[in-house]
Amino acid sequence: MLETGDDAPEFALQNQHGETVRRSDFDGRLVVYFYPRAGTDGCTTEAQEFEAARDEFENCGVGIVGISDDSVEDLESFATDHDLEFDLLSDPEGEVATLYDSYGEKQMFGNTFDGVFRTTYVVDSDGTIEAAYEDVSADGHAEAVLEDLAERRTGQAAPER
């Protein structure tokens, strides 16, 4: 897993609209979250929570991108079905996820396969990893990231909502 202070790898991936999105396209900070599969329960929960908090992230000058190994077409359906307005990026071979130490061998139901790990990074405006989250729980994760961002900004815990 990448650590705080590491350089965040650059990427250029297609979003759910077939447009190329680069890490360097974002002026401010950026949440880069990796998720295993569009449309599954956990991934849907995580995406919906990031979408629900999108305005709060934007008010803090923080963009959001979600990256999976799903196809552009699958991401388009996922975004449409759940009214997701932030960029969902297609990394079909897991190349970017690998650069972010978020891709590798997994086991599920007795099967071994390569796939995306549920990890999240906050990248600062200089392209440095500001925070890293490994093996996150989808439920409540967006809120936890927002709270951490607020603590970093103010030096105090975020108020209860």
How high does pLDDT run on average in the chain? 93
pLDDT at 160 over 60: no
Does domain 12-154 bear CATH number 1.10.10.10? Answer: no
Query: How far, in Å, CA of 57 to CA of 61, rounded?
Result: 6
Note the pTM of the prediction, 2 decimals: 0.92
Instruction: State the pLDDT at residue 155.
Output: 59
Catalytic status, residue 43? yes
* Cα dihedral 75, 81, 82, 86 sign: positive
Which is catalytic among the residues 2, 43, 47, 72? 43
Domain positions in the chain: 12-154
Task: Return the number of other C-beta atoms located less than 10 Å from residue 46's C-beta.
Answer: 24
